[in-house]
Every structure is written in C-alpha cells, then in structure tokens.
C-alpha cells in the first residue's frame, strides 16, 4: 500500500512540475515587431525603428550598416531615449514590460551605429 501511494505521489509531483514548466515556456518566447510598442521624443522615427529591430534581434532583409563614407573618421553622435513596451510579457499581473533605453546613435543617414548606454526595466499595467 505504501509503495503504491509513493508512486502516485511521485506521478503527481512530476505532472505538476511538467505543467509549471510548460506554462512558463508559453510566456517566454517569440517577439514580433508588431508586439512591441516604441516611442521617443528625441530620436527620429526611422532611426528608432532600426534601433528597436536591432535591440530585439528582429531580422530585416538588409544587413545592418555600421557606417557610411562620412563615418570613416567618426560618427556624428547624438543621445536620445527610446521607450519600448512588450505587451503580455509576464504570465501574471502586471503583464507588460516597459524598457527605457538611453541610446547614443549616429545622425547621418545610411549609418545604423548605436550604443545602448543604460536601461531601466519596469513591469506596468496596460493589458488584462
């Protein structure tokens, strides 16, 4: 009798651990560009889109260009703040993840150079 109850208890524990693992994996996963909301007051929209896609590893058809001919002797650097929101990132409330990144980037067109100099990550309430 004891042996049978130990087997049942072991099966229940294994089932619970498996279910918890599957639940956790369902929420950590694929990021698409459509699921990310981004904004900035000081970075031009086109540059911001390039930075966000590169930050999240979302591939494009063209490879990233880290400089143009004018950047041979140095980039024309500017600083800005980029805010991204990933909706339904966490399985429990608050579900959304807000990341504020401090970015140094090149202002010349055709150059995709940027460096993230700092980040702040917060859980926010915006989705149910």
Q: Would the pLDDT of 6 be above 90?
A: no
Quote the DSSP letter at residue 35: G
Where does the pLDDT of residue 32 fall: very low under 50, low under 70, confident under 90, or very high at 90 and above? low
**What are the tokens at 99?**
């990341």
What is the secondary structure of 20-75 as a DSSP string? HHHHHHHHS----GGGEEEE-SSS-HHHHHHHHHHHTT---SSPP----GGGGG--
Give the pLDDT of residue 60. 59
pTM: 0.64
In this prediction, residues 120-128 reach a mean pLDDT of 86
Q: What is the mean pLDDT of the chain?
A: 78
Total H helices, total E strands in the chain: 2, 4
């Amino acid at each position: 009798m004891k042996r049978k109850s130990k087997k049942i208890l072991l099966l229940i524990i294994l089932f619970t651990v498996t279910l918890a693992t599957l639940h956790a994996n369902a929420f950590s996963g694929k990021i698409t560009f459509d699921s990310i909301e981004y904004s900035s007051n000081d970075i031009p929209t086109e540059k911001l889109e390039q930075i966000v896609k590169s930050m999240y590893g979302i591939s494009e058809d063209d490879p990233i260009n880290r400089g143009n001919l004018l950047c041979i002797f140095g980039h024309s650097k500017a600083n800005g703040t980029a805010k991204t929101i990933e909706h339904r990132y966490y399985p429990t409330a608050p579900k959304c993840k807000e990341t504020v990144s401090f970015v140094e980037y090149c202002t010349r067109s055709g150059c995709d150079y940027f460096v993230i100099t700092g980040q702040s990550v917060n859980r926010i309430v915006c989705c149910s």
